[in-house]
Structure 1
Amino acid sequence: MRENRNSKAKILLITEDVKLQDYIALILIGEGYIVNTYTSGKELLNNINREPFDLIIVGFSSPNINGLDICKNIRETFLLRQTPVIMLLDDNDPLNKAKSIYSGADDYIEKSLLSAELLLRVKTALWRMYRYKDVNPLTKLPGVSSALKELRSEIESKKHFAVGYAELYKFRRFNDKYGFSRGDEVIKYTAELIRKTLVEFGSASDFLAHFGGDDFIFITAPESIDVMCKEIITEFDSNILSFYDVEDRNRRSIIVKNRKGGLDTYPILRYSTDNAGHTGIKKLRKKV
C-alpha cells in the first residue's frame, strides 16, 4: 500500500492495474487530494476498517479485485457506509453500469474518459456528500438525522442492541482557554478513539455518529458496550494531557476568566462515570 498526503479530501483508490493507478493518483495528488492505494481486494478487505475516507474509487473487475463485492462490503461497514463510491469501468456496457449502481456505487466512469472526466466526477461526488448527506464536516461522521434513522432501524429489527452516549465534561471551558482550533483537535482525536474502539471490540454492523460539538453516539451489541466504555475512558484519560500547555498539564487544571472578570478553575477534560452529576459515557440498552 502506498500513501501520499496533502491538505484536501482523502481518497481510496483500488485497482490492480499499477500504471492506471499511478495515472489516477498523479491527477488527484496534483489537485491536492490525499490518495491511498490498494492493488488487491483481499488486502483492502483485511484493512477496510482502519481509517475513514471521503471518497472511494474502485476497479469494476480484475483477477484480484471484484469491484461489486468490494462495494457491497463497503456498504456493510459502519465506517464507510456513507462514503461515496465511483466505479472504474472498462467500457460503455450498460449492464455493468447497472450492476455498479445496484451494488452500492454512487457513480461510474469509463477508463477511456478519465483524462476528461475524473476530476469532475470526484468533485461532484464530494460536493454531493457534503451537500446532501448528513456528515459532520470536522470528523466526517454521520450526524443527528443518520443516528435517528439508525436507531429506528434497530428498534424495528426487534434485536437486542446497546447505545453509548459520549460527552466531554466542561469542553466549552477548554475552548475558552485554548480556542476552537485546539478544541477541534480534541474532537477529532475523540472521534478517532471511539472509532478505533468500535473496530477493535465491535463488529462491522456497529454505528457511530457525531451530533456536533463534543457529543457522540454509538450503537453496538449489548455484550460489547461495557468494555467499549471502559476502553474509551481509559485511553482518553491517558492521552488528553498532550493537548494542554505544560503549566496546565502540571497543575492538571485550567484557569479561565469568567464574564464578571474573575478567574475560574476547571479540571482536565474527561469522560467519567464516577460522578452522577456529570455526563460521561451513558450506556443505554434496548432489549426487545
Structure 2
Amino acid sequence: MTVEPAEERPDLILVVDDDDDIARFVEFNLRLHGFDVARARDGQEALEMIDKRRPDLAVVDLRMPRVDGLELTRRLRANPMTSALPVIMLTAKGMTVDKVHGLTAGADDYLVKPFDTAELIARVGSTLRRNKEFREVSPLTGLPGNSRIRREITDRVRSGVDYAVGYIDIDRFKSVNDRYGFVRGDEFIAALARCLHGAMVRVGLPPAFLGHIGGDDFVIVCAPEQVLPLTKRAVADFENTADTLYDPDDARRGYVELKDRRGNIQRAALVTLSIGVSLSVPERRFTDPLEVIAAASEMKSVAKGQPGSFVAMDRRRSDGHRGIDPRTAAARRSGQPIEPDPPAPGLVG
C-alpha cells in the first residue's frame, strides 16, 4: 500500500484587535495569500484561543480593552509554551513611544496604521521565516538542523546540478563524554563545527552548506570537486584543535583511560573523524533526497572500519560499475596521509 505524504497545513495567524474593520481587513488579505486565520477581540480572548489552537504568529493591536497588546505580549513571553510565538504589533501613526514599548515587551516587529496589503503580507512572511529558521538552528553550534538540511538536499535534487553530500561524525566521541563529562564533549562538537565552517570558507565558491543533525553528527552539501580540499582541511584543523581540548597528560600519551563495568581499565585512542560521501553526478543521478542521505550514511559506516580519520566516497554508477578515480583520504592523527587498503568495489577511500 502506498501512503501519500501528509499535506502541510497553512500557517495559522491569530489577529487580535477590537476594531472589526481592521480585523476583517487583515483577515481577508491573509486568507487571500494562503494563510489560515483566527480572530480575537482582546488579549484575554486571545490567551484562551492560543491554548486551544496554537497559532504560528499573532498580529496584535496595541490598545485594546481588558488585556491590551503590551500585556498580552508580556504574558506570552513569560509562558514557556508560548514564549517563542512571533508577535507583530499594530501601532498608531507617529506614536514612536508605542513602537518602543511594543518591542521592549517582546514583539518581533510592528506595523504602523494605516498599512497596505503588501506591507502586511511582507512582514508576516518575513517574521514567520525568521522564526522557523531560528527554531531549526542548533543551540550549541548555531548551524541549521534537520529540516533545513533536508530542504537543502531537496533543492539540489530538483536543480539537477552535480553535488556531493558528506555525513560526518567523531570517532570515539563517547570516550570523551565518559572521561570528561558532557560539558567537555560539547566543546569538541563546537570545535568540529568551527573547523568545518572554516574549511568551507577556504574552498570558496560555489557556496557549500553545513548543517548539524545533532550530537556529533554533521552534514555538508557541496560541489563534488570541493569534497577533498574541504574534508582534508577540516580533519587537520579538528585533530589539532581536539588535542588542545584533552587534558595535557591524555593528549601527550595519545589515549584516555576508562573503567569498564567490571572495573577494568580500558584505553581509548584520541578522537578522529569518519566521513561518508555520496555523489550525484551524471553517472549516478539521485532523484530522492533520502537515497542520497542513505548512501552517505553507508559510506560513513565504511569509513568507521578504517584506521584514523577517513573519507569513504561512493562512486558507484547507476549500472552498478565502479567509477575510475584516484583514492581519496583525509589525514591521519600523525599528520601523515592515510594509505588505506584497496577500497571495496564501488568505494573510493
TM category (shorter chain) comes to 0.5 to 0.7
For the 8 Å contact 1:163–1:285, the answer to whether it is kept is no
Q: Kindly state the Cα deviation for residue 111 of structure 1 after the two structures are TM-superposed.
A: 6.2
- Structure 1 residue identity aligned to 2:202: E
Matches within 5 A, 1:39-188: 113-119=98-104, 120-121=106-107, 129=131, 133-188=135-190
What TM-score comes out, normalization by structure 2 length?
0.46
Q: Which amino acid aligns with 1:117?
A: G
Select the residue among 237, 240, 254 that pairs with 2:239: 237
1:271 Cα offset (Å) = 1.9
**Structure 2 counterpart SS, 1:115:** helix
Aligned residues of 2:136 and 2:144 also touching (Cα < 8 A): yes
Q: Paired residue for 1:277?
A: 305
User: Contact between 1:206 and 1:219, CA under 8 Å: does it hold in 2?
Assistant: yes
Change in CA separation of 1:275 and 1:154 when aligned onto 2, cut-off 3 Å: closer
Change beyond 3 A, Cα 1:191–1:275: closer
Q: Is the Cα contact below 8 Å between 2:169 and 2:217 reproduced in 1? A: yes
* Comparing 184-193 and 198-207, the one that deviates more: 198-207
Q: Does the Cα contact within 8 Å between 1:160 and 1:287 map onto a contact in 2? A: no
Alignment partner of 1:210: what SS? strand
Distance 1:173-1:281 versus aligned 2 partners, 3 A rule: same
Q: Give the Å deviation of 1:174.
A: 0.8
Query: By how many angstroms is 1:272 displaced?
Result: 5.5
Q: Cα offset for 1:165?
A: 1.6
2:303 and 2:311 in contact (8 A); partners too:
no
1:259–1:225 Cα change, 3 Å: same
Q: CA deviation at 1:200?
A: 2.0
Report the AA paired with residue 254 of structure 2: R
Task: Return the index of the structure with the highest Cα Rg.
Answer: 2
Sort the Cα spacing of 1:286 and 1:277 in 2 relative to 1 into closer, same or farther, 3 A.
Answer: closer
Note the residue ranges of structure 2 that are not aligned, 5 or more in a row.
1-91, 110-126, 276-301, 319-349
Report percent identity of matched pairs.
30
Partner amino acid, structure 2, of 1:202:
G
**Counterpart code for 2:219:** I
Work out the CA distance in 2 between the residues paired with 1:92 and 1:283. 60
Aligned twin of 1:46 = none
Query: How much has 1:130 moved relative to structure 2?
Result: 7.5
| Offset from partner CA, 1:106-139 (integer Å, 9 cap, x none) | xxxx96655312331359x79x847973222211
The CA RMSD measured in Å over matched residues stands at 3.7
Residue 275 (structure 1) shift: 6.2
Structure number with higher relative contact order (C-alpha < 8 Å, ≥ 6 residues apart) = 1
Number of matched residues? 183
Deviations 1:195-219 (Å, cap 9, x if unpaired)? 1211221337421111111100010
- Structure 2 vs 1, CA of residues 143 and 114 (structure 1 numbering), >3 Å: closer, same or farther? same
Partner in structure 2 of residue 211 of structure 1:
213
Q: Does the aligned pair in 2 maintain the 1:165–1:215 contact within 8 Å? A: yes
Contact kept in structure 1, 2:274 and 2:304, CA below 8 Å: no
Could you list the structure 1 runs, at least 4 aligned residues long, displaced by more than 4 angstroms after superposition.
110-114, 272-276, 278-288
Q: Is the CA contact 1:160–1:286 (under 8 Å) kept in the aligned structure 2?
A: no
Partner of 2:203: 201
Q: 1:282 to 1:165 in 2, by over 3 A?
A: farther
Alignment partners' CA distance in 2, 1:271 and 1:255: 20
CA distance in 2, matches of 1:255, 1:276: 21
- Whether 2:239 is the aligned partner of 1:253: answer no
Q: CA deviation at 1:192?
A: 1.3
Letter in 1 for 2:107: R
Code of the aligned partner of 2:305: G
Q: Partner letter of residue 101 of structure 2? A: A
Moved more, 241-250 or 197-206: 197-206
| Aligned-partner SS, 1:133 | helix
Check whether the contact 1:207–1:219 (CA below 8 A) recurs between aligned residues: yes
User: Aligned to 1:216, what secondary structure does the other structure show?
Assistant: strand
Distance 1:242 1:114, change over 3 A: farther
Residue by residue over 1:60-88, the C-alpha shift from the partner in whole angstroms, topping out at 9 and shown as x without a partner, is xxxxxxxxxxxxxxxxxxxxxxxxxxxxx
